Structure 1
Amino acid sequence: MKEKVLLAGASGALGMEVLKLLREQDLEVRALVHSEDGAEKVAEYTDDIWKADASEGNENIKDITKDVSIVISTLGKSVSLFTNRGKSFMENDFYANSNVLDDAVKNGVKRFIYVSIKGAEKALEYEVAKSHKMFEDALEASGLDYTIIRPVGFFSGLNDLAIMAKRKVIPIVGDGHTRTNSIHQKDLAKVVVSVLREGPNIKEVGGPLIHTRREMAEMIEKRIGGKIIEVPEKLAEWGMFLPELLDDDLTAKLKYFKFVTTNDMIGEQHGDITFEDYLQGLDLEKDLP
């Protein structure tokens, strides 16, 4: 019998890239997706597809890890200001992953790889970070062999700024002097698969180049247009550019956005795809509503 991997969140931007790499290795993959659209996306790569909302309880995904030796979870709520808000970070990041973990422990899974976020242990006052850290703690206490990958952020996570650039403004918090090395999901997927069978308990991961937030905004300005606007830190949580969207969900995202953009977020450098490469590959009509 071939080694079987459960990939949770298989139809997401990162999940799809991980799925492709697993199939290249001729591994059997069971895919957990949330919707019919997700099931259609992964169908090219596996016919072992579970469509379920893992946050709704253990019974909803009972025995999803049966005959599975490795779990990879890319489950989690998007931090984009423009995505459908739906359930909370606690439901999508903590409860959903905890239900998968409970099933994995019950079925004797050997290894669990979880994609978290950089800063999860340092920003517990933010719902985004707190929900990830709570699951990290649960995974550490489970007794399973594990690796927690903490990316500094995806290039696609910066699409919000690109969307706003189309609307003629590119906000940066403060003077944009803080630095980061966000990563493309294809490069992050390679890191995930590299620790498939063994790896460190914690791995903080970034892309190949380190830039200041202002430098990245300038790249967006050059590619898309718009004007860079410095937003004072005290105003950064108010959603001054998107007042019609303000609610509890958006408030949580804006608070975390302020945190990550006012602190250096740098991980171990990986990959080859640069932020400029990513921007050049964007379809300005299709990818930026």
Structure 2
Amino acid sequence: MEERVLVAGASGALGLEVMKLLHEQNFPLRGLVFSKDGADKVAEYTDDIWEADASKGNLEIKGITKDVSMVISALGKSVSLFTNRGNSFLENDFYANSNILDDALKNGVKRFVYVSIKGVEEAPEYEITKAHKMFEDALKASGIDHTIIRPVGFFSGLHDLAIMAKRKAIPIVGDGSARTNSIHQKDLANVVVQNLKEGSEILEVGGPLIHTRLEMAEMIEKKIGGKIVKVPEKVAEWGMFLPELVNEDVSAKLKYFKYITTHDMIGEKHGSLTFEEYLENLDLKDLP
């Protein structure tokens, strides 16, 4: 049987880079996307495209892994405050991936590579990390050969700060001393593809350089403008309860944003693309 690969979340920032790399390596590909717009994005790499909401139940994606040898899932709810597909983190990160895993087990898929998130062990109390941890546990219990990749965050996930910079404010919670080595989605895609056929059970992955949150904010300020605004942690804590009165989704994202920006989030160094280079090539017209 051909080594056909299913990429779930194929039209996302990471999924597209994974599709591109696998296409260059002549893998037969199947892409799972959520919308017609997503299907249009991946059409360059395959004509085997499924458009479905995997969280809605097994019937939505029944047979999606038929004739598939390996699954890569970059499927999950965006943590951006400016993006909301409607479903909860539990639905998008746990139920959707669980339904794909169930189908994979029925169809004899050999291997499953799952892109999770750093923090599932250290901070499982947040809605975002809890949903990822639940699927990690299900994947481990399934018995299928797998690798779980936990990025500390990738550059496109920092678009919120760039968007806010366009609106003249760059918020930093606390003093900005927490460190991270976020990774470019192209470098992260390389890590994913390198672990397609075999790899460690869990990898915590970052980019080549470690910066403080303040240093990254200063790079954004230099590139885009705006003013860095330091928000005391206690003020941020109180502010995060208010959105719950209107929008639980925003509240969950704000709480996790506060956590990751006030704790060191460092993974094993990979890749070569730096945050400064990423900002230099960022087209501000693409940001709302």
Q: Residue by residue, what CA displacement relative to the aligned partner does 1:153-205 show, whole Å, maximum 9, x if unpaired?
A: 01111111111111111110110000000011000000000001000000000
1:2 to partner: Cα distance: 2.3
1:52 and 1:60 in contact (8 A); partners too: yes
2:80 and 2:160 in contact (8 A); partners too: yes
Normalising by structure 2, we get a TM-score of 0.97
Instruction: State whether structure 2 residue 119 is matched by structure 1 residue 119.
Output: yes
For structure 1, the residue ranges without an aligned partner over 5 or more in a row are none
2:8 and 2:74 in contact (8 A); partners too: yes
Distance verdict in 2 for CA 1:87–1:282, change over 3 Å: same
Residue 16 of structure 1: aligned partner: 16
- Please give the alpha-carbon distance, in whole angstroms, between the structure 2 residues aligned to 1:95 and 1:166: 36
Describe how 1:173-192 pairs up with structure 2 within 5 A: 173-192=173-192
- Please give the alpha-carbon distance, in whole angstroms, between the structure 2 residues aligned to 1:208 and 1:177: 18
Residue 156 of structure 1: aligned partner: 156
Runs ≥4 residues deviating over 3 A: 237-240, 242-246
Residue 129 of structure 2: aligned partner: 129
Instruction: State whether structure 2 residue 171 is matched by structure 1 residue 210.
Output: no
- Please give the alpha-carbon distance, in whole angstroms, between the structure 1 residues aligned to 2:16 and 2:143: 28
Tell me the amino acid that sits aligned with residue 287 of structure 1: D
- Please give the alpha-carbon distance, in whole angstroms, between the structure 1 residues aligned to 2:23 and 2:245: 40
1:84 to partner: Cα distance: 2.3
Tell me the amino acid that sits aligned with residue 167 of structure 2: R
- Please give the alpha-carbon distance, in whole angstroms, between the structure 2 residues aligned to 1:273 and 1:188: 10
1:125 to partner: Cα distance: 1.1
Q: Residue by residue, what CA displacement relative to the aligned partner does 1:114-152 show, whole Å, maximum 9, x if unpaired?
A: 000001122111000000000000000001000000000
1:287 to partner: Cα distance: 2.1
User: What's the C-alpha RMSD, in Å, of the aligned pairs?
Assistant: 1.5
Describe how 1:250-265 pairs up with structure 2 within 5 A: 250-265=250-265
Tell me the amino acid that sits aligned with residue 37 of structure 2: D
Residue 97 of structure 1: aligned partner: 97
- Please give the alpha-carbon distance, in whole angstroms, between the structure 2 residues aligned to 1:191 and 1:117: 14
Distance verdict in 2 for CA 1:244–1:109, change over 3 Å: closer
Residue 271 of structure 2: aligned partner: 271
Question: 1:90 is paired with a residue of what secondary structure?
Answer: helix
For structure 2, the residue ranges without an aligned partner over 5 or more in a row are none
1:238 and 1:254 in contact (8 A); partners too: no
Deviates more, 1:195-204 or 1:115-124: 115-124
2:7 and 2:31 in contact (8 A); partners too: yes
- Please give the alpha-carbon distance, in whole angstroms, between the structure 2 residues aligned to 1:161 and 1:186: 20
1:239 and 1:246 in contact (8 A); partners too: no
Normalising by structure 1, we get a TM-score of 0.96
1:44 to partner: Cα distance: 1.0
- Please give the alpha-carbon distance, in whole angstroms, between the structure 1 residues aligned to 2:245 and 2:181: 29
- Please give the alpha-carbon distance, in whole angstroms, between the structure 1 residues aligned to 2:225 and 2:243: 22
Tell me the amino acid that sits aligned with residue 82 of structure 2: F
1:283 to partner: Cα distance: 1.2
Residue 71 of structure 1: aligned partner: 71
Q: Residue by residue, what CA displacement relative to the aligned partner does 1:219-240 show, whole Å, maximum 9, x if unpaired?
A: 0111111111110112224558
1:246 to partner: Cα distance: 5.1
- Please give the alpha-carbon distance, in whole angstroms, between the structure 1 residues aligned to 2:7 and 2:254: 29
1:85 and 1:249 in contact (8 A); partners too: no
